[in-house]
Chain A
Amino acid sequence: MSEEELPAWSLPAASVESIKLPEEWPGEITREWAWGEATGAGARVCVLDSGIEGGHPMVGEVQQSVAISIEGNEVIIDDEDTEGDLCGHGTACAGVIRSLAPECELVSVRVLGAGYTGSGAVLLEGLKWAIEQGYDVINMSLSTTKQKFASLLHELADTAYFRRTMLVASAHNMPVESYPWRFSSVISVGSHEGSDPLEYYYNPAPPVEFFARGLDVEVAWNGGGRLVCTGNSFATPHIAGIAALVLSKHPELTPFQLKSVLYLAATNVGSGK
């Protein structure tokens, strides 16, 4: 968040200088401009999932591991989660992100693993906590169908958007209402059938905004293992990884600007072609 209060509701003539952007917008956005030479260094990426197995050859070091649970009415935040990954899914997402942005900071916020009951509430609390930490990117390869969480999730997604945290969420390939991927303040991701990790498409017919690699993806799995998997769960961290690259090179970008850059550098748009 900016240190100085910006004019929130109006822009007096004398204040125009106060919203001067830190960087000149280039005439043409190219992939080279967007993430050329970028490694992800400096970008803080959170994986909201089943945990991450630290030290996996495809993942490397995990900078922080947190577990969220609810007992009764109390939300418990264990900021030194030592369980690792309870199923492998979070490790898979983390591996994809690191394959694209090898030097990004990785944080695991574990919201899965305690059974089915209460999973929606834990997801909500985990997201809330992650937004408060101000991560640059939050990868959410999961969703909830519970209507009662929809408005709270919507509020959280908007809060993230205004605090410069980009939520990247898996879309559903089934005709059901689920959240938060349907909200316009997040980036929603579906799958395409290509095999290039940097191949991604802007979808002019939302709610799914981008399609990334999600078919037959070799991913990291528990126990130092690897698996070939398919699903939007694995397309999402491709966009999260690319977003981390862009933000590591251009940390001043807001989610709106980041989305614009991703759009302009997409495979079916401008310089991505």
Chain B
Amino acid sequence: MSDDFRAAVAAGVLGSEDQFRALLQSIVDVARAIFKAKASSILLLDEEADELVFEAAADEASESLIGKRFPSSTGIAGFVLVSRQPLVIEDVLKDPRFSRETAESTGFVPKGLMAVPLLHDERALGVLEVLDRPQDTRFTLAEMDLLGLFANQAAIALDLLQRARRAQAALAGEGDLAVVARVAEALEHQRDDEDGSRAAALRLLAELEKLL
């Protein structure tokens, strides 16, 4: 089965991207709590536009951050994405990579940050950032490893979000497979099958399968 076909079927039966967004939100909430940080965020790489986009954020200004974008080579997040190396910096205000303008536009200017690339298979999907962990405790390599584990989880969630988006695009589109997606969706929504139409449709599909 082609990826497009899988996506079309998945589009019919998967929930909306809201569920995957909730998963991302949960990851930044937990990351923020575990590191006792002031904020945490996940940025997705939009490969076509070569831009990073805020997909989830845990802090006071989180709502306004979602959807904000900036060039993929900007700031520490951009560097981490390109070099694929996690970095921890204690005072970002001395760091020219840290784009103050970008930070101020997000309404939050951190002092220290940890940034880790979100790698899934061979792709770099985005960056997880944890801002302003407590300055009075020394950073440890165990925390670095923990950050890597979170990044792994976030990368899987981001991958799911992107798949859901592609699937939704297949569902909404006028392509050849859109009808498959709509049939799968209709079957998913008629699980109780009060009038027997679902059973009839399934029989029809079984006959169609024999024909193909």
Contacts and interface: CB of A to CB of B under 8 A. Distances in A.
Nearest to B45: A116
B85 interface: yes
Interface size class of B (residues with CB under 8 A): 35 or more
A144 B119 CA distance: 10
A144 B152 CA distance: 17
Interface size class of A (residues with CB under 8 A): 35 or more
A112 B79 CA distance: 8
A141 to B, nearest CB: 7
B85 to A, nearest CB: 5
A173 interface: yes
B87 A142 contact: no
Contacts of B139: 215-216, 230
B86 A226 contact: no
B96 A88 contact: yes
A174 B90 contact: no
A222 B95 CA distance: 8
B97 A147 contact: no
A64 interface: no
B137 to A, nearest CB: 12
Contact of B83 (A142, A176, A191, A193): A142
Nearest to B116: A174
B88 A227 contact: no
Interface in B40-87: 45, 47, 50, 71-73, 78-79, 81-87
Given A116-B78, A226-B94, A175 B47 contact: no
B13 interface: no
Contacts of A119: 82
Nearest to B95: A227
A228 B138 CA distance: 12
A145 interface: yes
Interface in A114-129: 114-117, 119
B141 A193 contact: yes
A145 B119 CA distance: 8
Contacts of B191: none
Nearest to B144: A173
B96 A115 contact: no
B85 A147 contact: no
Interface in B98-147: 116-117, 119, 121-124, 138-141, 144-145
Nearest to B114: A230
B124 A145 contact: yes
B95 A230 contact: no
Give the most central of A116, A144, A192, A193: most B CB within 10 Å: A116
B122 A223 contact: no
A176 B96 CA distance: 29
Interface of A: 50, 87-89, 112-117, 119, 141-147, 170, 172-178, 191-193, 214-216, 221-223, 225-233
Interface of B: 45, 47, 50, 71-73, 78-79, 81-91, 94-97, 116-117, 119, 121-124, 138-141, 144-145, 148, 151-152
Given A116-B45, A233-B87, 19 more contacts: A112-B83, A116-B73, A117-B47, A143-B84, A143-B85, A145-B121, A145-B122, A172-B85, A173-B144, A174-B119, A175-B148, A177-B122, A178-B119, A192-B141, A215-B140, A225-B96, A227-B90, A229-B87, A231-B144
